Amino acid sequence: MKTTVTAKLSQGVNLTPQLLQSIRLLQLTAPQLEMELREALERNPMLETEGDDEAGETDAIAEAGDDAALDAAAWDELPEPAFMSGLSAGGGSDDDATARIAAGESSDWRVRTLRELAADWTDADLAIASWWLDHCDDHGFLEVTHPELLTRATHALSLEPLEIESVRLRLLHGDWAGLAAGDARECLLAQLAARGIDDDAHALARRIVASHLDLLARHDHAALAKALGADADAVQAAIAVVLSLRPSAVEEPSAVEDTHIIPDVVVRHLGGGWRVALNGRSTPRVRIAAHCEQALAGTPGEHSALRGLLDEARWLVRGIAMRNDTLLRTAQVLVERQQAFLERGEEAIAPLTLREVADAIGMHESTVSRITSGKYIQTPRGTFELKRLFAVRLEGAAVSGSAVKAMVKRLIDAEPPHAPLADDVIAGMLARQGVRIARRTVAKYRDQLSIGPARARMRPPAAARAAC
């Protein structure tokens, strides 16, 4: 065996304790930072709160010193945020970095369903499932009759009806039992079948759903007992089973508790321009206690434990200054790029990515991603997360997806009540304005806006006049 020696050059990142602390502070939301600072004040006697909170807003950040500048340059060279959790960064250099900003679960139940099915279903079956879901209303029922849709699917997908119908049945009897049902009867029967219970109450419940829903709707329990040939107690037990079922396969998302939000950044229109300032009231302001620093300065070789606390306090104050400086600079660029949105509204929001903002402030995309996640900005148009000011460019158009969603809402708000616009009509109207999107995209935006389909919005002329 021959032993050889080779030289290898590699590049790495040296994560000092100061740098790790600065990165963690950068990612904290305002409530988390407030908790962090209060714990630090209790733990470290070298820190104290500043008493000049009357101003409330901060336009500029005090210089943090040369060491802070070096630390800022170091953290900006870090890889993606996933690096800190030990995960692979993923994605190529050309990926749209806006996707790396944390976002909530999709409000479109179709998207959530397909995402769950993707783990077990083949691509071919997913394509068929997507077609069925695309032709379901907001409650998961087929928009038109089942035979008509099956005929349409046969021509649209160029597949055998049996193969297409088998996918619908898998949806119907899947985890979301009753999905893609033709009517309430089929949806309820699918839910009963999913329970797999075969006692007398469930057997009677299946008979009620299959043949006697009209009697149940009229609350005619005596007629139900006669039609089923069962006594009153057995019928009551079966009715309780039916009432325990969901009226539709699609569950409403759980309501999120409404909480007050204290913005991190405040924007005002003053003197013909936009003024951006940090909200000093969102977190307590800390500094190094001057008397402690002066006391230790006279004894350079003593009190090593106290000197460790002093160094820790300096790192914390420096890290907060760096965080605030990065937040302010990022917010200023966002406001500058989205002035049209602030002045004219949603339809004027411009396409903007993390990369563009990062280039403008001379930092890495991962730094911008960290500083905008969970941070809120107060504007004349309301208070919302900073990430809302990012918008992905719509493919084939010079506008953003958020702007198109606002256009969809405007068209629906202006539609005649007795003749609401179908999704394909809205897509056609937008195409005439130079914005080409699919019908399915219109349906997705409409669902995100909590607006029902055309037939659910239709009101007869008499009712429309009465509402006016």
* Domains in the chain, number: 3
Residue 44 banded pLDDT, cuts 50, 70, 90: confident
| 9 in any annotated domain | no
Q: Are 409 and 415 in contact (CB under 8 A)?
A: no
CB atoms within 10 A of CB 15: 14
Provide the 3-class DSSP secondary structure of residue 366.
helix
Mind listing the pLDDT tens digit for each residue in 128-167? 999 999 888 888 899 889 999 999 999 989 999 999 999 9
CA 197/CA 424 separation, integer angstroms: 43
Mind listing the pLDDT tens digit for each residue in 374-387? 899 999 888 888 88
Domain end point (choices 183, 215, 243): 243
Looking at the chain, the whole-number percentage of residues with pLDDT higher than 90 is: 16
What is the pLDDT averaged over residues 177-198? 90
- Same domain assignment for residues 429 and 366: no
What is the pLDDT averaged over residues 225-243? 89
Q: Which residue has the higher pLDDT, 215 or 9?
A: 215
- Same domain assignment for residues 116 and 76: no
Statement: residue 76 has pLDDT above 60: no
CB atoms within 10 A of CB 387: 20
| 93 in any annotated domain | no
CB atoms within 10 A of CB 322: 20
| 265 in any annotated domain | yes
Fill in the DSSP letter of residue 5: -
Residue 301 banded pLDDT, cuts 50, 70, 90: low
Write the DSSP string, 277-318.
EEETTSS--EEE-HHHHHHHHT-TTS-HHHHHHHHHHHHHHH
CA 300/CA 409 separation, integer angstroms: 68
| 95 in any annotated domain | no
Q: Which residues are paired to 138 by β-bridges?
A: none
- Same domain assignment for residues 117 and 234: yes
| 101 in any annotated domain | no
What is residue 303's predicted lDDT score, i.e. its pLDDT? Answer: 63
How, if at all, do strands 57-58 and 382-385 pair?
Answer: unpaired
Average pLDDT, the chain: 78
What is the pLDDT averaged over residues 355-381? 89
Question: Is the sign of the CA dihedral 287, 289, 290, 295 positive or negative?
Answer: negative
- Same domain assignment for residues 384 and 405: no
Residue 56: both structure tokens together? 């409330």
Rg for the chain, CA atoms, rounded: 30
- Same domain assignment for residues 428 and 305: no
What is residue 390's predicted lDDT score, i.e. its pLDDT? Answer: 85
What is residue 164's predicted lDDT score, i.e. its pLDDT? Answer: 92
What is residue 189's predicted lDDT score, i.e. its pLDDT? Answer: 92
- Same domain assignment for residues 382 and 422: no
What is residue 53's predicted lDDT score, i.e. its pLDDT? Answer: 44
Cα-based distances in Å from 86 to 49, 79, 91, 171, 449: 35, 11, 16, 37, 37
Statement: residue 402 has pLDDT above 80: no
| 92 in any annotated domain | no
| 295 in any annotated domain | yes
Mind listing the pLDDT tens digit for each residue in 310-332? 888 888 888 888 888 999 999 99
Statement: residue 424 has pLDDT above 90: no
- Same domain assignment for residues 383 and 413: no
- Same domain assignment for residues 117 and 233: yes
The gap between the terminal CA atoms of the chain, to the nearest Å, is: 93
Residue 216 banded pLDDT, cuts 50, 70, 90: confident
Closest CA to 332 of 375, 391, 383, 278: 278
Phi, psi at 391, each rounded to 5° = -145, 130
List alpha helices for 44-142, DSSP H.
66-76, 109-117, 123-134
Q: List the domain range (segments joined by +) for residue 300.
A: 23-85+261-391
Q: Note the pTM of the prediction, 2 decimals.
A: 0.51
What is residue 69's predicted lDDT score, i.e. its pLDDT? Answer: 47
Cα-based distances in Å from 186 to 80, 206, 234, 361: 48, 11, 23, 58
Lowest mean pLDDT among 32-41, 100-109, 312-321: 100-109
Helix (H) or strand (E) holding 382: strand 382-385
Looking from the CA of 231 toward its CB, the CA atoms found within 13 Å total: 3
- Same domain assignment for residues 278 and 377: yes
What is residue 398's predicted lDDT score, i.e. its pLDDT? Answer: 61
The domain that contains 452 carries what CATH number?
1.10.10.60
- Same domain assignment for residues 269 and 371: yes
SS3 percent helix, strand, coil of the chain, rounded to 5, is 55, 10, 40
Strand order, beta sheet including 273-279: 57-58, 273-279, 265-270, 376-379, 382-385
CA 366/CA 358 separation, integer angstroms: 9
Residue 244: both structure tokens together? 């325990």
Residue 94 banded pLDDT, cuts 50, 70, 90: very low
Domain end point (choices 243, 274, 305): 243
Fill in the DSSP letter of residue 383: E
- Same domain assignment for residues 273 and 385: yes
**Hey, what amino acid is at 447?**
D
Statement: residue 236 has pLDDT above 50: yes
CA 88/CA 80 separation, integer angstroms: 9
Domain end point (choices 345, 364, 391): 391
Mind listing the pLDDT tens digit for each residue in 267-283? 998 888 899 998 877 66
Fill in the DSSP letter of residue 149: H
What is residue 74's predicted lDDT score, i.e. its pLDDT? Answer: 47
What is residue 99's predicted lDDT score, i.e. its pLDDT? Answer: 44
Contact residues for 81 (Cβ-Cβ < 8 A; gap 6+): 27, 100, 366, 369, 370
CA 205/CA 41 separation, integer angstroms: 63
- Same domain assignment for residues 371 and 445: no
| 100 in any annotated domain | no
Please tell me which of 165-169, 173-177, 349-353, 427-431 the model is most confident about, judged by mean pLDDT: 165-169
Fill in the DSSP letter of residue 181: B
